[in-house]
Structure 1
Amino acid sequence: MSDKAGTSNPPQVIVHTDAPFPTRGVILDDSNFHLWSQLMEMRIGARNKSGYITGKTTKPTEGEKEIETWLIENNKVKSWLIDSMSPSLIHRLIRLQTAAKIWEAVSQTFYDGSDETQLFELNRKSLNNRQTGRPLATYYNELISIFQEIDACLTTQEDTVDEAVSANKAMSRFRVHIFLAGLDSEFNQVRSEVMRKDPPLSLEACYTYIRKDRNQRQTMEEKVPEPDGMLHLATRNWPKKGRTSNNKNTFSCTHCGEDGHSKIKCYKIIDYPDWWDFTKKPRKKISQATIATTAPANEMNIPVVAHTSTGMYPHNFTKNDTWIIDTGATDHMVNDLSKLATSHVPKQ
């Protein structure tokens, strides 16, 4: 645009400050003035309106052309303050004429830098705070919030910079001890490690060290995932040559009476596999026990040990005697093969 030929006005930059004022759900009540006041100072200052709550932006006199602008801006800041209060506070403060008076009334109501009762309550909260199973970050952030409120109540009384630095270091170490004391018992070992650090860790460094230790332990304690179902069965239950499954009592066969398999998998029905060892102890329902016929080379009686229902006892027998071997062993040994009428080599 131009007023005259050959002349032009510089482009105008318009800044919109009428965007909705966020409260983030923080409504002023009797318990959260410190948090509320910090948020309000930050947000009002970001809109270049801090002077309306501090009183530095004074009201122009009647008749000045700035009076209308000031009234609009003052009401805007008032609405920001009022909209972020509980209903009971709104009724008390809405009739005050300026934002600065509302801010002053709230500060006098909820905060006094010399209020020892408030400082005592904050210190008590910090000393009694415990993790009690909560996430580490939740416990740490809650302590930091309390420490910040304590700092806002305190005023530096040291005379020199060195004294102030020394007092700050002492306070920092004290807060590290408060943080460590409130941790759950699972952090006992890492707590001892932190206490042995030289130089001592700051509160922020202490939290970082413990968080890393917690993450490492969680990674190491993760369970190895179970293998695929079919692969798991194959690796656990695949029959070994000459062996049966270790879990013998899972099933009981109704056909042969043996444990370790069901009727549908009974070898007496579906036939024995090639690797089966027939020298194993007799089955429960085998009608005839293994019978060995002795044929001594001479007429001398040969003492053997036979097992009957009455127990083990020496027994003398002569030619053509028969006896039942039931010693529980899968193999038997004699000093002369001719003493046995029949014999065979077990299948491999």
Structure 2
Amino acid sequence: MTKYGTKSGMASTSESTTPSPTPQIMSDASPLSITCHKLNGKNFLPWSQSVFMYICGRGKEEFLTGSASQPEFTDPNYKKWKAENNQVMAWLINSMIPEIGENFLLYPSASEIWDAARESYSCSDNTAELFAIESAVHDLRQEDSTVTEYFSTLTRNWQTIDLTETHDWKCSKDEKLFRSFIENKRVFKFLMGLNNNFDDVRGRILSTNPLPNLRAAFSVVRQEESRRKVMLGSSPQSSDNSALVVQRQNNPSTTDVTAHQGFRQGQPPNNTKGKMIPGRPWCEFCKKPTHNIDSCWKIHGKPLDWKPARERRAHSAVSEQPPSTAAPFTRTIGCSPEVILPAYDAIFCHRNG
């Protein structure tokens, strides 16, 4: 008699012992595009860092360093090495733009591709690129950027400098002192590049003893920026404009003084331009105040002794009434028919009306 329980138990045992795919095998089947930083000849540093992190996460960094040497053809592990090596090669080539990736298609191993890319595109030995980075850091200011954007730009450039500059330290204490010195210099640079509206928080940080590190200084300034946004509800520039508007509202005479100064300089205020002002001279010819038709410059020209306003004494005003003995004019009535007829009509109406 068949014992189904036993068979069922045997079947379940055989199913439980069936090996399942390992996570490593599944990771090898991941997409070939392993980073958003495709090597284009100018971004070797972010490309190399992101690619190295990805390949290390897959446990295959020895194919980049060269420690996974090629076995003999007769070695049983040769087929496995070849498959993994080609997998890493595919990752590297597909992380480059086509114009660059095509140059590495015929390389036999992933370590050779890695070394060739570093020799061709690394800026560690490129003095001109390092000089450009140092210049960009030196000239960088916050200006219209937020504190976070300004700090992130500085940090990216400093990380590039740190990765390209290598030092062989004989003493670990000297290395620690040097890094502390560089940290303080970078705190100074960060604070110097801030806008003037952060003078108060900048002073508080500089008065702290010992000087906080770069991340702590950034945190203090960022919190101050957030506090101002919450309390003022706008940027410092707009708050300055609001203060100016309040000042004008509290001192309305400012606009009146400005209008009065413009009138004294021969330019009537905008609300009286082209209108007759009671008690003031009025020209019937040019329809403007401050003079009459007998002294209109459009008819008679400017006086011979007339000088520009900049040559007069400061704050001198043009006389509202023409002098009793006016200087000769530079233009005569009979100079042009276009001027004669309207001028005679205006003078006739003025004297007979």
Q: Name the TM tier (shorter chain).
A: 0.5 to 0.7
The structure with the largest strand share of the pair is 1
SS in structure 1 at match of 2:212: coil
Name which of 107, 111, 121 aligns with 1:100.
111
- The gaps in structure 2 that reach 5 residues or longer are 1-8, 235-353
Partner of 2:36: 25
Rounded to whole Å, the distance in 2 between the matches of 1:44 and 1:83 is 13
Moved more, 71-80 or 188-197: 188-197
Spell out, residue by residue over 1:74-106, the C-alpha distance to the aligned partner (whole angstroms, 9 max, x if none). Answer: 111111111111121012112212111110110
- Paired residue total: 221
Task: State the percentage of identical aligned residues.
Answer: 25
Note if 1:200 corresponds to 2:223: no
Spell out, residue by residue over 1:144-166, the C-alpha distance to the aligned partner (whole angstroms, 9 max, x if none). Answer: 11111111112234432221111
Note if 1:76 corresponds to 2:76: no
Spell out, residue by residue over 1:15-44, the C-alpha distance to the aligned partner (whole angstroms, 9 max, x if none). Answer: 222122454421111221101100000000
Note if 1:14 corresponds to 2:22: yes
Rounded to whole Å, the distance in 2 between the matches of 1:170 and 1:63 is 57
Note if 1:184 corresponds to 2:195: yes
TM-score, normalized by length of structure 1?
0.59
Cα distance, 1:65 vs structure 2 = 1.7
The answer to whether the 8 Å contact 2:55/2:61 transfers is yes
Opposite residue 95 of structure 1, the aligned amino acid is: L
Cα distance, 1:186 vs structure 2 = 2.4
Q: Does the C-alpha gap of structure 1 residues 114 and 26 become closer, same or farther in structure 2, counting only changes over 3 Å? A: closer
Structure with bigger gyration radius: 1
Cα distance, 1:13 vs structure 2 = 6.0
- The gaps in structure 1 that reach 5 residues or longer are 224-348
The answer to whether the 8 Å contact 2:123/2:130 transfers is no
Opposite residue 106 of structure 2, the aligned amino acid is: R
Please list, as runs of the form range in 1=range in 2, the aligned pairs for 1:1-348 lying within 5 A after superposition.
14-15=22-23, 16-17=26-27, 18-111=29-122, 113-222=124-233
The answer to whether the 8 Å contact 1:194/1:206 transfers is yes
The answer to whether the 8 Å contact 1:2/1:9 transfers is no
The structure with the largest helix share of the pair is 2
Rounded to whole Å, the distance in 2 between the matches of 1:63 and 1:11 is 28
Partner of 2:342: none
TM-score, normalized by length of structure 2?
0.58
Spell out, residue by residue over 1:255-294, the C-alpha distance to the aligned partner (whole angstroms, 9 max, x if none). Answer: xxxxxxxxxxxxxxxxxxxxxxxxxxxxxxxxxxxxxxxx
Spell out, residue by residue over 1:208-255, the C-alpha distance to the aligned partner (whole angstroms, 9 max, x if none). Answer: 0001111111111138xxxxxxxxxxxxxxxxxxxxxxxxxxxxxxxx
